[in-house]
Amino acid sequence: MINLLFGITLGLFSSLLSIKFGARYRCPHDCDISFSRIDTLQNHLQFVHSKKPLNRKRIVIIGGGFGGVTVLNKLQDRFQTDVTVDITMISKDNYLLFTPMLHEIASGMIETRHIVTPIRSFCKRSRFYCAGVESIDLENNSVEIRSSLAPIPHGTLNTMGRNSKSLCYDYLVIAVGSETRFFGMSDVEQNAFTIKTLDDAIRLRNHIIYLLEQADQLLPESSYD
């Protein structure tokens, strides 16, 4: 019960943060960047989209987990009104996952919405790409990305479609996290359940439900009397 209340409280708190601190002013040009303050947007329009645009410092953050979002928040706080600094966040998921509560999803105690927060709610003065990184060119300071989103039906594509996009940077932050290793134990890899992502937790929950249903079918009919 305590964990359930904590999960619901966390979800409500995340929603309130998204409303209060999320970006509200989007640049009307094609740079696709949002700001939480209108005066910063005005400075951005004046200096970046003028006839003589500024030579901005470009910071690219790869990874939308705890590490990447923490760096994003600190950079945004420091350069909130400095339009000479351009910040871009790249993540294959469009949400921040509160991983310490994944087991609660697997057990069915809380819902998935209680442990996810949209990454865009943290982008107070930065742009966001929901994309995977294809390659990093350290010599030319560029990152090749490809959209994580599938094309929308009826001939309409998402912003990037399935095309690659190249982003140049002056400073690169790599915060992609880690993956589960099995140290060559193929049997464990094939049969064990990992619990590192939202899909992992849902897969484990569904397997538990499946086993319970199977066990119920094996009970003798007399047990229902």
- CATH number of the domain at 45, please: 3.50.50.100
- In a domain, residue 222? The reply is no
Please list the rounded mean pLDDT of every run of 10 residues in the chain (225 residues).
Answer: 49 47 66 72 70 79 96 93 90 94 92 93 90 94 86 52 83 93 90 92 94 84 59
Does residue 15 lie within any of the structural domains?
yes
In a domain, 184, yes or no: no
The count of other CB atoms within 10 Å of the CB of residue 224 is: 6
Report yes or no on 74 lying in a domain.
yes
- Residue 115's nearest CA partner among 180, 195, 61 is 195
Is residue 172 a part of any domain in this protein?
yes
Model confidence, pTM: 0.73
User: Is residue 187 assigned to a domain?
Assistant: no
Which residues form the domain of 92?
A: 2-177
Asked, for residue 220, whether it belongs to a domain, the answer is no
pLDDT of residue 45: 72
pLDDT at 92 (0 to 100): 93
- Rg of the chain on CA atoms, in Å: 22
Domain count across the chain: 1
